[in-house]
């Protein structure tokens, strides 16, 4: 289920001329005045980017209200968009493929109504954080680990990484906490490790790094182990968290990387999606200010897709020469 807390951004605009009238007309024509975006966990990049996009759209579309909903993250977002509990939502490539094909965590519940709105949000990085006295991943045997929230990519990546280090699910005690709660639990000694995944810098990790009263370590994965993980799970890749990304992080961190897509339910009208995509890509400077990860959004790669693109978005991408 969705976390009940939601941030509702409401911007009421006076009647304007030109493009403002056009965008407002598109919303009325589609008989839509309130939409929702699955924003992911509090403290994550998805949430910040979703807020920025919602604010932009509401300022440009007369009478439009967009709710940014706190969710578990990529898996829940794909599910909720597929069921149209949310109209839009950011998700990772692995969850998108699984949801669309009815595989992995979506076995038996194929989400055929999810489509790509655009791609290009900066890929996420999987973070494993412990006290410095834990020097290797295999030392997590018998430990308590905050895996990240259920419905987020952090737990499944965690189980894969741990298995490649000889740790099976029964070898440690998992708990499923939000990113900020997981970092707080690590600081308070309630867990010995905390996981988080998202575009860097992750707010919850920044907070820990700035305020931790203990020496912490963000663990790297060896190149050989990482190659084995990617060979087995080609939807993932290798990524680096550059040294200095977080306070007292003195070394580059090699880890699992993810790709990100904005999903939209197929039943959202073509005209409405066209206008929203047009607004987003004609106001990228505003979107880029929402979070460092949003700076990766660019028109040139917006039509890259693992699954079909929504016809409304496709119309805009054709106008821009990205697709035939």
For residues 224 and 207, state if they share a domain: yes
Among 214, 240, 258, give the residue marking a domain's end: 258
Residue 1 placed within a domain: no
Domain span at residue 62? 6-121+261-319
For residues 34 and 137, state if they share a domain: no
Specify whether the CB–CB gap between 34 and 67 falls below 8 A: yes
| pTM more than 0.85 | no
Q: What would the two tokens of residue 157 be?
A: 């990546």
Distance CA 87, CA 110 (A): 17
For residues 212 and 167, state if they share a domain: yes
Residue 245: is it exposed, middle or buried by C-beta count within 10 angstroms (0-12/13-18/19+)? buried
For residues 237 and 276, state if they share a domain: no
Residue 64 placed within a domain: yes
Specify whether the CB–CB gap between 253 and 88 falls below 8 A: no
For residues 142 and 253, state if they share a domain: yes
Give the CATH number of the domain where residue 16 resides: 3.40.190.10
Instruction: Kindly list the distances between the CA atom of residue 154 and the CA atoms of 8, 197, 224, 315, in Å, as whole numbers in the listed order.
Output: 26, 5, 21, 34
Among 258, 277, 305, give the residue marking a domain's end: 258
Tens-digit pLDDT string for the chain (324 aa): 433 333 333 333 333 333 333 333 343 344 457 999 998 887 778 899 999 999 999 999 999 999 999 998 888 999 999 999 999 999 988 899 999 999 988 999 999 999 999 998 878 899 999 999 999 999 999 999 999 998 788 999 999 999 999 999 999 999 999 999 999 999 999 999 999 998 888 989 999 999 988 999 999 999 999 999 999 988 888 999 999 999 999 999 999 998 889 999 999 999 999 999 999 999 999 999 998 888 889 999 899 888 999 999 999 999 999 988
Residue 324 placed within a domain: no
**Count of other CB atoms within 10 angstroms of residue 4:** 7
């Amino acid at each position: 289920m969705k976390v009940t807390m939601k941030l509702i951004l409401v911007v009421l605009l006076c009647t304007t001329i030109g493009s403002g009238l056009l965008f407002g007309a598109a919303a009325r024509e589609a008989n839509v005045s309130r939409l929702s975006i699955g924003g992911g966990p509090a403290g994550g990049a998805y949430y910040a980017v979703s807020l920025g996009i919602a604010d932009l759209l509401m300022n440009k579309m007369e009478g439009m209200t967009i709710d940014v909903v706190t969710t578990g993250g990529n898996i829940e977002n794909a599910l909720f968009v597929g069921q149209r509990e949310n109209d839009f939502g950011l998700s990772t490539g692995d969850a998108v493929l699984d949801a669309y094909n009815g595989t992995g965590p979506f076995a038996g519940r194929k989400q055929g109504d999810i489509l790509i709105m655009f791609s290009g949000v900066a890929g996420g990085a999987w973070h494993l954080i412990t006290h410095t006295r834990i020097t290797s991943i295999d030392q997590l045997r018998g430990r308590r680990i905050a895996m990240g929230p259920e419905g987020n990519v952090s737990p499944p990546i965690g189980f894969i990484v741990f298995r490649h280090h000889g740790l099976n699910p029964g070898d440690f005690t998992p708990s499923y906490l939000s990113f900020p709660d997981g970092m707080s639990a690590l600081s308070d000694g309630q867990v010995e490790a905390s996981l988080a995944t998202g575009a860097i810098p992750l707010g919850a990790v920044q907070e820990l790094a700035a305020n931790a009263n203990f020496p912490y370590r963000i663990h790297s994965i060896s190149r050989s182990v990482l190659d084995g993980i990617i060979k087995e799970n080609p939807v993932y890749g290798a990524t680096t968290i550059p040294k200095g990304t977080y306070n007292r992080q003195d070394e580059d961190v090699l880890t699992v990387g993810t790709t990100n897509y904005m999903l939209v339910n197929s039943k959202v009208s073509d005209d409405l999606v066209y206008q929203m995509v047009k607004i987003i890509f004609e106001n990228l400077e505003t979107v880029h200010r929402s979070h460092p990860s949003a700076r990766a959004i660019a028109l040139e790669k917006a039509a890259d897709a693992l699954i079909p693109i929504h016809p409304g978005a496709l119309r805009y991408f054709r106008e821009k020469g990205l697709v035939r």
